[in-house]
Amino acid sequence: MPVHEDLDVASAPLAKRIEVLELYSEIKAAKARLAGPDGETRQLPPDLQSFLGQLLEDLKAGKSVTILESDAAMTTVAAARMLSVSRQFLVQLLEHGEIPFHKVGTHRRVYVRDLLAYKSKRDVDRRRILDELVRKEYEEGLYDLIPVNALERD
């Protein structure tokens, strides 16, 4: 079962922001321990402590955080929202084999891990294309030119 929770510390009440900042400081400064319901405590593994530290750092910076299971299956509507595309565009990606999917009855479902893998690849490709465009414009001497319509504004 997926856990979806957007946390926005920047818009939280001051007391909550202070609480998050204090917790962040404690985890950064000490070896965090996990207390079970029976009162037994165990030291957190370093990778989990690092994850929690990064999570709190993001919250401290006012970033939105979502926690999802990698095996969670998403509807096409939710997947499209995550990619910031229309549902119809997402369905085209699915049907062209760009993103793996499976069907539950007649409904398409996408695993979060597959969606995030596609998003990561897409973002790398976009960055590479933009870098190449900037490089070409620079080589052609177009990077320092003032657009004609910018002169008309003066």
Mean pLDDT of 23-46: 77
How many Cβ atoms are within 10 Å of 145's Cβ, its own excluded? 10
Q: At 2, is the pLDDT very low, low, confident or very high (cuts 50, 70, 90)? A: very low
56 in the same domain as 88: no
- CA separation for the pair 89, 7 (Å, rounded): 29
Which carries the bigger pLDDT value, residue 90 or residue 60? 90
Q: Indicate whether 148 belongs to any domain.
A: no
pLDDT at 139: 87
**Is there a single domain that holds both residue 51 and residue 82?**
no
What is the rounded distance in angstroms from the CA atom of residue 46 to the CA atom of residue 50? 6
pLDDT at 71 over 50: yes
Domain containing residue 91: 73-139
In the chain, how many domains are there?
2
Same domain, 129 and 90: yes
Q: Do the beta carbons of residue 33 and residue 44 sit within 8 Å?
A: yes
Q: Determine the pLDDT at residue 10.
A: 58
Residue 114, C-beta contacts closer than 8 angstroms, at least 6 positions apart: 99, 100, 101
What average pLDDT score do residues 71-93 get?
A: 94
